[in-house]
A = this chain, B = another copy of it.
C-alpha cells in the first residue's frame, strides 16, 4: 500500500508538488474509522482469488468468504416469490405473462400503484413509499402481538446501516467533556465503532459476558456508564439482539432490565434487531424491544425513546444487494423526528427496488394465496438449514482442543475463542499485527478460509476470537470447520 510520505518523495523526484488532499491533511475522523468486516484480510482474500484465477498454485482451490453475512454469495437461492414480484415491478410488460402466479401479479400492481409514475424508476418520498410504511407498521403489530405501530414512525432506509448512522448523527453534540457518549457492546458489529469515530462521538464499551453465552449484564452497563461520565456525556445505548458477532439471543428479563437502566440513566435506546428472524436455539425466542417496552407500561412505555432497526439483508431472504431496511422510532420528540426526515431528504430516497422487496418481506403471501405453499417451504428450508449449521458449528468447534464456542442461539455467526500460544503472540507483535489477525491471515494463506479477527469487533484484553459465518452449505461448512480446527492445532504446535 502506498504511503503518503512515499508518494511525496516520489513526487519530489518527478518534479511534482504535493497533493492538495493528503493522508496528513485529510479528515482526521475518517482516518480513525476502522471496519474489520471488509478490512485488510478481505483485501488479501480478493488478491488470493485473483492469483488463483491466474493459475498461481495454492494449498487450496478456492477462497471461502466466511467473513460477511452474505447468504446468496454462499449459494443460498433467492426466495422465488420475492424475485417474481420484483421482476414484475421492474418490467411491468410481464404482467400479461401466464408464467407468473396471480398473487405475485397483484402484489406487483399494488406496489407500482404506490410508486411515482407507477414506476420503480421514480424517486419515492424520503421516508419511503407510504403504502410500504403502512405494511411495515402492520408487520410490527403482528410481530408484537397487536401492540400498535404508526406508519408515521417508520422510515425506510438503504439497508439498516443507513438508518443506524442517521439516528446516531442526531445524537452527536457537545465538545470535550460534554461530547456525546454512546454505549456499545463488546464485541460489537464495527459499523458502530466506525460511525462513532467518523462523527467524533465517544465510544463507551460495555462487555458481554462470554462465560454466560455472551449475556448482557446490567451491572456491566452501570460500570461502563459510571466510568464514561468522567470524560463524556453518555446519551445513547446500542443493543444488538440477536447478537452480531456473538449469536446470543436476549431473554425477556434481560431486555426489561436494559430498558429500566436506559430509562433511569436517561439514555436513548438503539435496538439493532436485523436478525429477528434468525433464532435457532431451543428455548430461545426473539422479543422486540418495542414490545417489551410497551408491555412494561408506565413510566417506561410512554416515555423511553427507542429506535429499532430491521433489514432485508438477513433473515431467511438474505437479499443484501438490494439494500432495503427500516427504522421504527418510539417516543421520539416530534421536532427531532422532523429533523431526521429533513436529514434523510438530502439523500432523496432509499433505493426503490429495496423498498419493494421490504414490502414483500413484511407482508408475505397469506395461506390462501397461490404462492403460499412454495414460499413457506422455501423459507422453512432456509431457516432449518441455518439452525442445523448453527448447531454443527458449535459442536465441531467445541470438540477442537484450544477452541471454545458459545451456542449460536441466533444471527448468522459464530465467535469462537481461540487459545494462541505465547510464541505466536510474540511473533504477531514482531510483525506489528494483532495476534488474532496474525492467526486469521495465516489461516487464509494456508486454507483459503477468510474469517475476521476478534480484534475487529472488540474482545477482553488477552483473549482471542474470530467471527465466522454459518452460511456455507452444510456439508461444505462441516469440512471448513474441521479444516479450521486442524489448522488451529497445527498452528498451536508450530508456535509451542
User: Could you say which of A305, A318, A321, A353 has the most chain B C-beta atoms within 10 Å of its C-beta?
Assistant: A321
Q: Nearest chain B CB to A306's CB is how many angstroms away?
A: 10
Bitwise, A339-352 to B at CB < 8 A (1) or not (0) is 10011011111111
Q: Which of A13-21, A395-403, A457-465, A475-483 contacts B (4 or more CB under 8 A)?
A: A13-21
Kindly state the interface size class of chain A when it binds its partner: 35 or more
Judging by beta carbons under 8 Å apart, are B30 and A170 in contact? yes
Q: Nearest chain B CB to A274's CB is how many angstroms away?
A: 12
Q: Nearest residue in B to A162 (C-beta to C-beta)?
A: B347
**C-alpha spacing A116/B17, complex, angstroms:** 41
Within 8 A of B (CB), among A323-375: 323, 331-336, 338-339, 342-343, 345-354
Bitwise, A299-332 to B at CB < 8 A (1) or not (0) is 0001101000000000001111111000000011
**A2-B335, A90-B83, A351-B321 known; A268+B33 contact, CB < 8 A:** no
Q: Nearest chain B CB to A33's CB is how many angstroms away?
A: 6
Bitwise, A216-255 to B at CB < 8 A (1) or not (0) is 0000000000000000000110000000000000000000
What copy number does this chain have within its complex? 2
A101 at the interface (CB under 8 A from B): no
Measured between beta carbons, the chain B residues less than 8 angstroms from A296 are: none
Q: Nearest chain B CB to A419's CB is how many angstroms away?
A: 30
Judging by beta carbons under 8 Å apart, are B123 and A321 in contact? yes
Judging by beta carbons under 8 Å apart, are A345 and B170 in contact? no
Within 8 A of B (CB), among A96-143: 97, 99, 115-117, 119-126
**C-alpha spacing A124/B94, complex, angstroms:** 28
Judging by beta carbons under 8 Å apart, are B235 and A20 in contact? yes
Judging by beta carbons under 8 Å apart, are A26 and B125 in contact? no
**A16-B302, A320-B121, A321-B123 known; A23+B162 contact, CB < 8 A:** no
A493 at the interface (CB under 8 A from B): no
Judging by beta carbons under 8 Å apart, are B173 and A27 in contact? yes
Which of B27, B94, B122, B268 makes the CB contact (< 8 A) with A70? B122
**A21-B332, A83-B91, A122-B73 known; A346+B35 contact, CB < 8 A:** yes
**A20-B268, A346-B191, A346-B195 known; A91+B86 contact, CB < 8 A:** yes
Judging by beta carbons under 8 Å apart, are A351 and B158 in contact? yes
Q: Nearest residue in B to A302 (C-beta to C-beta)?
A: B16
**A22-B333, A169-B27 known; A74+B305 contact, CB < 8 A:** no
**C-alpha spacing A75/B94, complex, angstroms:** 19
Judging by beta carbons under 8 Å apart, are A4 and B335 in contact? yes
A161 at the interface (CB under 8 A from B): yes
Q: Nearest chain B CB to A112's CB is how many angstroms away?
A: 11
**C-alpha spacing A339/B334, complex, angstroms:** 37
Bitwise, A64-87 to B at CB < 8 A (1) or not (0) is 000010111111101000011011
**C-alpha spacing A125/B117, complex, angstroms:** 32
**C-alpha spacing A39/B86, complex, angstroms:** 31
A-B pairs with the 9 shortest C-beta distances?
A321-B352, A73-B116, A87-B91, A2-B334, A38-B345, A73-B122, A351-B351, A72-B121, A23-B335
* Contacts A/B (CB < 8 Å), 16 sampled: A3-B335, A4-B335, A17-B303, A20-B305, A22-B335, A70-B117, A78-B121, A87-B87, A94-B94, A120-B322, A121-B318, A122-B321, A169-B198, A190-B346, A320-B349, A321-B353
- A residues near B (Cβ < 8 Å) are 1-4, 7, 16-17, 19-23, 25-28, 30-31, 33-35, 37-39, 46, 68, 70-76, 78, 83-84, 86-87, 90-91, 93-94, 97, 99, 115-117, 119-126, 158-159, 161-162, 165, 169-173, 190-191, 194-195, 198, 235-236, 266-268, 302-303, 305, 317-323, 331-336, 338-339, 342-343, 345-354
